[in-house]
Amino acid sequence: MFLLLLSLQGSPALAASPCASYAQVYGARPTGAVLAAKRRIIHQTALREGVDPHALEAIAMVETGIRPAIGGDCEIGPFQIMPFWAKEFGLSSPWYFWDLQTAATAAARIYRAGWDRWRPQYAAVGRNVNLDKAGFKPSTLDRATFASMSYNWGSAAKSFSKADNLTTVHIPKVTCRYAVRFQQELAQARKHP
């Protein structure tokens, strides 16, 4: 099925949402011992990759609730990683992102890349009109939320660095909502040891 999905990505008829007809989350939201085991895998992977375990957990919760899924743009796995990343990480198939540990490793590295692109002036984005409309509460953007926005919208650093005014720079609505949800999930993740 996945080869079919990848072959469809180039089809003009499906250009807007290549995997929309296959997009879904698979399985119930994990609870109890299953959730604890998945959190352990995510946290151990985050520590090994040098990122905040709670931030990586928050990304998985925002993306899928730590469940395997296929997204409308062919994102795959519990961290909704785009298929092109498989090649970047030396994987022979994007299906490896279905595995929680593999996906967590890739997600940690993508998140870390956003973290590394942080500039102190990006804090002003916290007063951005688009974020405000999405319900973003802080008046300054923190580095962790910026990295999550970069995870969701790869052009964040580029757009922010070129902006004349960070309070009015265009941020996609989906990324604004993502930032709000990330902060909510991060607060929840930090309540757990």
Query: pLDDT tens, 37-52?
Result: 999 999 999 999 999 9
Q: Provide the pLDDT confidence category of residue 12 given band limits of 50, 70 and 90.
A: very low
Residue 192: predicted pLDDT: 84
Please work out, in degrees rounded to the nearest 5, the angle formed at the alpha carbon of residue 29 by the alpha carbons of 25 and 32.
155
Is this model's pTM higher than 0.95 or not?
A: no
pLDDT digits (tens, 9 = 90+) for 129-169: 999 999 999 999 999 999 999 999 999 999 999 999 999 99
pLDDT at 118 over 60: yes
Q: Which residues contact 50 (CB under 8 A, 6 or more apart)?
A: 108, 112
